[in-house]
Structure 1
Amino acid sequence: MNLKEQLLQACYSYVNKRIASYKDELETIKESIESNDKSNDEGDDSGNGKLYNDLELNAQYLSDATKMLDTLKLINSKTVNTHVALGSLVRTTSNNYYISISVGKIEIDNEIYFGISLLSPIGQLLKNKTVGESIIFNNTTITITEII
């Protein structure tokens, strides 16, 4: 498995864990709501208000994670671009970036990569740049040394 395949796999793993966690949490909340409804026949649903809020919040998190999964499905790890695009591995004078989804730090073979979205602030700056071009991020000049 090449490096970009390993990075893509790490992103899939991250998203799949999040999706499973949110689905589990949603089931737990639904069960809690049902048990509150059964044990509370007087019409007092004060305990359910927070549960319904949590249900809505976790449903939104699940939706966001599913969108991340959809983004990953657009990446072909065998594609090599001459400019920074979705699926690019970008080596710079400061860090290595895998343009995919926002997952943060990924370590492979004792080397650090940052999974970032094209929509992130640094992703927006890197987008469509080529080797040798520079960006300024957090008052630091960063030069692209390689795009894989």
Structure 2
Amino acid sequence: MKVKEQLLQACYSYVNKRIASYKDEIETIKESIESNDKANDEGDDSGNGKLFNDLELNLQYLNDAKKMLDTLHVINPKTMNTNVVLGSLVKTTSNHFFIAISMGKIELDDSDYFSISLGSPIGQLLKNKVVGDVIVFNNNTFTITDIK
């Protein structure tokens, strides 16, 4: 399997684990709300306010994770581009970036890759750049040496 395919697979695994975790948490919260409702027939919603807030928060996290999954579905790891776009593997003089989702560091074959989104600050700097372009980020200067 090629590096881009392995990186994309790592991103899918990360997002799918997050989705499963949020779904589990949502079910747990719903069960807690139901058991609180049964225990408190006098109209006292002690604890339910926080549970509803937690439920809403986890529903938002789940929605965000599903958007990440939608982004991954758009990426074709076999596509090669001469400029940095979604799905590009960008090698620079200091780091390797996989333009996909904001996931962070992925260790693969004794190399470190950083999965970043195009919307991130570094992603915005890299967007549409070509080999030889120089980027300055956090007072660090680096040159794009390869794009796949």
What interval of TM-score do these two structures reach, taking the shorter chain for normalisation? over 0.9
Name the CA distance, whole Å, in 2 between partners of 1:145 and 1:59: 41
Unpaired runs of at least 5, structure 2: none
1:78 aligns with 2:45: no
- TM-superposed CA distance for 1:35, in Å, is 0.3
Counterpart code for 1:74: V
For 2:127, the equivalent position in structure 1 comes to: 127
* SS across alignment from 2:136: strand
Deviations 1:24-51 (A, max 9, x none): 0000000000000001111000210000
TM-score by length of 2: 0.99
1:54 aligns with 2:83: no
* SS across alignment from 2:47: helix
For 2:30, the equivalent position in structure 1 comes to: 30
For 2:42, the equivalent position in structure 1 comes to: 42
Counterpart code for 2:12: Y
1:2 aligns with 2:27: no
* SS across alignment from 2:97: strand
Counterpart code for 1:25: E
* Residue identity (%): 77
TM-score by length of 1: 0.99
Name the CA distance, whole Å, in 2 between partners of 1:72 and 1:14: 11
Counterpart code for 2:99: I
For 1:63, the equivalent position in structure 2 comes to: 63
Unpaired runs of at least 5, structure 1: none
Greater than 4 Å deviation, 4+ residue runs: none
